[in-house]
Structure 1
Amino acid sequence: MAKALGVGGIFFKSKDPQALMTWYQTHLGLPTDAPDHAAFFPAIMPAGGCTVFSPFKRTTGYFAPSRREFMFNLVVDDLEGALQQVADGGATIVGDIQSFDYGRFGWFLDPDGNKVELWQPAVPPAS
């Protein structure tokens, strides 16, 4: 049986795709190899990080206050620093940082109103 091996992309509409891409490159350090997209390769994923594929019920409030039918998650190496950078860039911080065994999370609305979840994975114990 063929198997999915990971998420190959996150694609969404924007009123000004170039401006939004530049905003993410400026405020979250997305790779700048191409002007219209960022490519992340597994080697840069921190220990404990992964890509999650998870459908939510249509009635979920998890994406609020965004009115979009999607939310995306970006893995970061410094949650507080990343949240400060996006806030300095004009993003709206949503809620408080939450901590779990598998990491810490924070959220913001980008300039287009998309809700973005930032995840700093917990460092796995040394073997």
Structure 2
Amino acid sequence: MAKVLGLGGIFFKSKDPKALMRWYSEHLGLPGEDYVAFEPSAMPPGGSTVFSAFKDDTDYFAPSSQPFMFNLVVDDLDGALKQVQAGGAELLGAREDYDYGSFGRFLDPDGNKVELWQPKS
């Protein structure tokens, strides 16, 4: 049986893809204007990529009306949250800390809910 080996990408629609990619570049340091390729070696110790389905009536992605949510691994959660807020993003809720890392959430300029994760080393 053929097997999945990893996540090959996240692809989504935007009214202005170039502007949204510029926003991510300016406020979270994503390199690239059309797409970003993350190399596995860039993942910090303790980091991973998760593939998970949620019940169709979940409110976990709220207040976004999108049927998905991004989770991005960051090296400095507090710094990243300050940067996106300075860029006009709406922060959602309080920072959450767990034994496997810390999380913060925001809505990007297109209204997508984004979860930032700083894994514990």
Which residue of the partner structure matches residue 56 of structure 1?
Answer: 54
Distance in 2 between residues matched to 1:119 and 1:54, nearest whole Å: 16
Q: How does 1:1-127 map to 2 (within 5 A)?
A: 1-32=1-32, 35-123=33-121
Distance in 1 (alpha carbons) for counterparts of 2:28 and 2:75: 11
TM-score (norm 2): 0.98
Alpha-carbon separation, structure 2, partners of 1:31 and 1:41: 12
5+ residue gaps, structure 1, are none
State the 1:112 CA deviation.
0.3
Identity value in percent: 69
1:108 to partner: Cα distance: 0.2
Provide TM-score, normalisation by structure 1.
0.93
RMSD of equivalent CA atoms: 0.7
- What displacement does 1:27 show? 0.4
The alpha carbon displacement at 1:100 in A equals: 1.1
Instruction: Give ranges in structure 2 of 5+ residues lacking alignment.
Output: none
